[in-house]
Amino acid sequence: MWGTLGTLACLTAAAFATTAPAQAAPASAPVSVQAAAAEPPSVWPKPAKIVHVPNAAAITCESGNLCVAAYDATKGDHVVYYLYYCTTYELSNFVGTGSYRNQQTGGATARFYGQSGNLLTSVPAGGSSNAYNWNPVWSIRNC
């Protein structure tokens, strides 16, 4: 009996053995920031609406929303999140330049916050689309 088990153990070990060590990519291989972010940008809690557009500067935003657009390297376009419900939204994988447009009503001012909760900027309701560097932004309170 032990002979059969011993043989199986040796065969299993041989099946998982490698003949050469794993090698890392050369240090000179360039990696873009977008390529490094293998996950698409996301917002939590889930926004009222999510759409993909070819150009972040040309986003449309329905009345009552703060719309934020970030580059989605997994699709090669920009994803626009419509932040309608009054809450704090956590951002993930918002990398590089995107845009925002504050179409909220009642004079609602949106606030962008950094990693430590520090206020980065306040965005009053307006109408124009504005380019913005998302790198330091970790959360948004839309009202």
pLDDT digits (tens, 9 = 90+) for 94-120: 999 999 999 999 999 999 999 999 999
Query: At residue 9, does pLDDT exceed 60?
Result: no
pLDDT at 52 over 80: yes
* Selected residue with higher pLDDT from 126 and 90: 90
Task: Give 98's strand partners.
Answer: 132
The residue ranges of every structural domain in the chain are 32-141
CA distances from 1 to 5, 6, 8, 123, 133 (A): 7, 9, 11, 75, 67
What is the per-residue pLDDT across 24-41, written as a single tens digit (0 to 9) for each? Answer: 344 444 444 444 547 999
Residue predicted with more confidence, 58 or 3: 58
